[in-house]
Structure 1
Amino acid sequence: MEKITRFLWFCSGANFNLLQKSPTESNKYVGIGGTVFFTAVLATLSAGYALFTIFQSIYAAIGFSLIWGLMIFNLDRFIVSSMRKRANVWSEWKMAIPRLIMAVILALVISKPLELKIFEREINRKLDEQKIQMMAESKEALSSSFKEIGVLEARKDSLSRAIQTAISYRDQLQQEYDFERFGVKTDGSSGIVGLGTNAKKKEQQLDEAQLELREMKADNQNRIDLLDQEILAINTQKEAEFQKVKPQIDGFDGIAARIDALSHLTSESKAIWRANIMIILLFIAIETAPIFVKLISLRGPYDQFLELAERNVEVYTSERTIKLEYESDLRLIDMKKTRTI
C-alpha cells in the first residue's frame, strides 16, 4: 500500500519529504496523482485506437500510444505540480487560467478517438452508406465517360424492334390465312371455308413474310452479336477503370473519414449529439479535476512547507549574491591600493 501511495505522490508531482512532514495532505495528493495517472491511461487507450486505425498494426499502435500516454502524463504532472497555493486567491486563478486552457485542449484531443470507439457501430453504418454513394457516383461518372455504350444499346434495341415488327406482321398474316381457310368472316377474309383463291394469296403472302423474317433474323442477329462484342469490350474497359477506383472507396475508413462520419451523425441525430457532448464534458472534467482540486482546497501544511523551502532557497541565493558582491568589492579595493603603491 505504501508503494502505491508513493507512486501516486509521484504522479501528483509532490515532494515526498515535505508530504511526509504533513501527513494530513497525503490523501489529497493521492487523489490528484490518481487523476493524473488514469488520465494518462485513458490517453494511452485513446491514442492506441486512433493509431491502430491509421497504421493497421497493433505493434505500431502500442508503441506510439505508450509514447503519447507518457507525454500526456508528463504534461498533466507538470500542470499540477507547477501550481502553488498562495494567500491571494486572484493570483491563484491567474496561474490556473492558462493551465485550465491547456487541460481543456488536452481533454478534447484525448476524447476524440474514444468518441469514435464508442460510436463505432453507428460510424461503420454511416461509412457503408457513404461508400455505396461513392460507388454509385463513380459508376455514374464512368457511364458518362463511356457514352458509346448507350449508342450501341440503342442500335441493338432498334434491330430487336425490327425483328419484333416482322414477327408481328408474320403473325398477322398467319391469322388472316387461318381465318380464310376456316371460313371466319372478317373485313379481310371472304368467310368461305377451304383453300380458295383468297386463301392461296394469303398463303403466298405468309410464305414471303416468313422468308423475310428468317433472313432478317439471321442478318440482324449477326449485327446484334457484333454489337454485343463491342459492348462487352467497352464494359470490360469500364470495369477495369472502376476496379482502379474501388480500392480507394473500400479504404475509405481512416481517422479523418470516421471523424467526418461522426460529424454527420451528430448533425442528423440530437441523441447522438447530446451523448457526444456529454463524453467531451466528462473528459474535460477529468482533465481539469486536479487543477480545480488545488484551487478549491484550503492552504495546507504541505503548501506552507513548500513555500518555506522555496523561501529558504531564495534567501540563501540572496545572501550568497550579497556576499559575492561584497567579496568582489574588497578585491577591487585591494587591487586599487596595490596599483597606487
Structure 2
Amino acid sequence: MKRFRDFFLFCSGAHVPMLKRAPSETNKYGGIGATIFFTGLLAAFSGGYALWTVFSSPWGAVVFGLVWGLMIFNLDRYIVSGMKKRNNFWSEFGMALPRLILAVLIAIVISKPLELKVFEKEINQELIVMEQQVFKTQEDKVKDRFQQRINVLNAEITQLNTAIQQQATKLDTLQIIAQQEADGTGGSRKQNLGPIYKAKKADADTAAAMLKRITDQNGALIAQKRQELLSIDSTQKATVGGLNRSSIDGLASRLDALGHLTDRSVPVRWANWFIILLFITIETAPVFVKLISPRGPYDDLLEAHEHAYIIFRKETIEKREREHNKRMMIGQPAVNS
C-alpha cells in the first residue's frame, strides 16, 4: 500500500519529500494523484480506441493509447502542480480559470471515443442506415446521368407510335366511309359500286399504303431506339454495380452516426450529455479540490521554501554586485590631486 500511496503522491505533482513533513496532507494529495492517474488511464483507452476505429491496427492503437494517456497524465499533473494556495480566493480562482477551461476541453476530447464505445451497438445500426442512404444517393446520381437521354428516347418512341396510330385511325375512317358508300348507309345513300365508291376506296387504299410505309419506317426507328434504351440500361446497371460499396466505419462516420442518434432520441441525447459531464467532473475534480481546500501545512512549507529561495537569490545577486564593484574599484587607477 505504501508503494501505491507514494505513486499517487507523485501523480499529484506535489514535492513528496516536503509533503512527508506534513503527513496530514498526504490523503488529500493522494486522492488528487489517484484522480489524475485514472484520468490518464481513461485517456489511454480513449485514444487507443479512436486509433483502432481509424486504422484497425492493434499495435498502433496500443502505442498511440499509451502515448496519449501519458500526455494527458503529464498535462493534468502540470495543471494541478502549478496551482498554489494563497490567502486570496479570487486571485486563486483567476489563476485556476484557464486551467479549468483546459481541463474541460481535455475532458470533451477524452469522452468522445468512449461515448462511441458505449453506444457501439446503436451506432452500428445507424451506420447500416447511413450506408443504404449513401448507396441510394450514388444510384440516384447514376440514374440522373442517363435519365435525360432515356426521357428523350421514350418521347420519340411515343411520337412515332402516335404517328402510326393516327394513320391507322385515318385508314379506319376512310374504310368505313367507302363501306357506307357501297352499302348505301352513307355518302350518296345509293347502294352501288360506282365512281364515288371507287374514289373513296382509292383514298382508303392510299391510306393503307401510307400506313404500311409509316409502320415500316417508324417500326425500324422504334426498334433502334429501344435497342439504345437496352444499351443505356446495361450501361447504367454496370455503372451501379461498379460503385464503391465499402462499408462506412471510420471515426468521422461514427461521430456522425452518434449525432444522428442524439438528434433523434432524447434518452440517447441525455445519456450522451451525462457521459460528457461525468468526464468533465473527473477532469476538473483535482483543480476544484485544490481550489476549495483550505490552506494546509504543505502550502506553508512550500511558500517558506520559495521565500527562502527568493531571499537566497537576492543575496547572491547582491553579493556578486558587491564583488564586481570591488574589482572595479581595485582596477581603477589613482587620480593625482
Which bracket does the TM-score occupy, shorter chain normalised? 0.7 to 0.9
Q: Give the unaligned 5+ runs of structure 1.
A: 163-219
Q: Deviations over 1:55-103 (max 9, x none)?
A: 1111111111111111100100000111101111122111111100100
Which residue does 2:278 correspond to in 1?
282
Q: Give the unaligned 5+ runs of structure 2.
A: 165-218
Which residue does 1:21 correspond to in 2?
21
The one-letter code matched in structure 2 to 1:238 is: Q
Q: Distance in 2 between matches of 1:237 and 1:152?
A: 16
Sequence identity percentage: 48
Q: Distance in 2 between matches of 1:297 and 1:259?
A: 38
Which residue does 2:244 correspond to in 1?
246
Q: Distance in 2 between matches of 1:235 and 1:52?
A: 42
Deviation at 1:240, TM superposition (A): 3.7
Pick closer, same or farther for the CA change 1:67–1:87 going to 2, 3 Å: same
Q: Distance in 2 between matches of 1:66 and 1:304?
A: 36
Q: Distance in 1 between matches of 2:154 and 2:251?
A: 43
User: Helix, strand or coil: the match of 1:245?
Assistant: coil
Q: Distance in 1 between matches of 2:227 and 2:120?
A: 46
Deviation at 1:252, TM superposition (A): 2.3
Contact map agreement 2:111 2:275 (CA 8 A) in 1: yes
Which residue does 2:186 correspond to in 1?
none
Pick closer, same or farther for the CA change 1:321–1:244 going to 2, 3 Å: farther
Task: Tell me which of 302, 320, 324 is aligned to 1:328.
Answer: 324
The one-letter code matched in structure 2 to 1:258 is: R
Q: Does 1:34 align with 2:43?
A: no
User: Helix, strand or coil: the match of 1:21?
Assistant: coil
Q: Does 1:261 align with 2:242?
A: no
Which residue does 2:12 correspond to in 1?
12
Which residue does 1:133 correspond to in 2?
133
User: Helix, strand or coil: the match of 1:146?
Assistant: helix
Pick closer, same or farther for the CA change 1:117–1:229 going to 2, 3 Å: farther
Q: Does 1:98 align with 2:94?
A: no
Instruction: Give the aligned CA root-mean-square deviation in angstroms.
Output: 2.6
Q: Distance in 2 between matches of 1:339 and 1:282?
A: 77
Deviation at 1:231, TM superposition (A): 6.0
Deviation at 1:312, TM superposition (A): 1.2
Which residue does 2:295 correspond to in 1?
299
Q: Distance in 2 between matches of 1:100 and 1:77?
A: 13
| Number of matched pairs | 276
User: Helix, strand or coil: the match of 2:248?
Assistant: coil
Contact map agreement 2:79 2:99 (CA 8 A) in 1: yes
Which residue does 1:122 correspond to in 2?
122
Q: Distance in 2 between matches of 1:109 and 1:244?
A: 38
Aligned runs of 1:1-341 on 2, under 5 Å? 1-147=1-147, 234-247=232-245, 250-336=246-332, 338=333, 340=335
Deviation at 1:112, TM superposition (A): 0.8
Contact map agreement 2:131 2:247 (CA 8 A) in 1: no
Deviation at 1:36, TM superposition (A): 0.2
Q: Deviations over 1:303-333 (max 9, x none)?
A: 1111111111111101101111111111111
Q: Distance in 2 between matches of 1:270 and 1:76?
A: 33
The one-letter code matched in structure 1 to 2:81 is: S
Q: Distance in 1 between matches of 2:241 and 2:49?
A: 30
Contact map agreement 2:83 2:96 (CA 8 A) in 1: yes
Deviation at 1:233, TM superposition (A): 5.1
Q: Distance in 1 between matches of 2:122 and 2:279?
A: 21
The one-letter code matched in structure 1 to 2:264 is: E
Q: Deviations over 1:86-131 (max 9, x none)?
A: 1111221111111001000100111111111111121122221111
Q: Distance in 2 between matches of 1:274 and 1:330?
A: 74
Pick closer, same or farther for the CA change 1:313–1:64 going to 2, 3 Å: same
TM-score, normalised via structure 2 length: 0.75
Q: Distance in 2 between matches of 1:103 and 1:48?
A: 20
Q: Distance in 2 between matches of 1:5 and 1:126?
A: 45
Deviation at 1:237, TM superposition (A): 3.2
Pick closer, same or farther for the CA change 1:78–1:275 going to 2, 3 Å: same
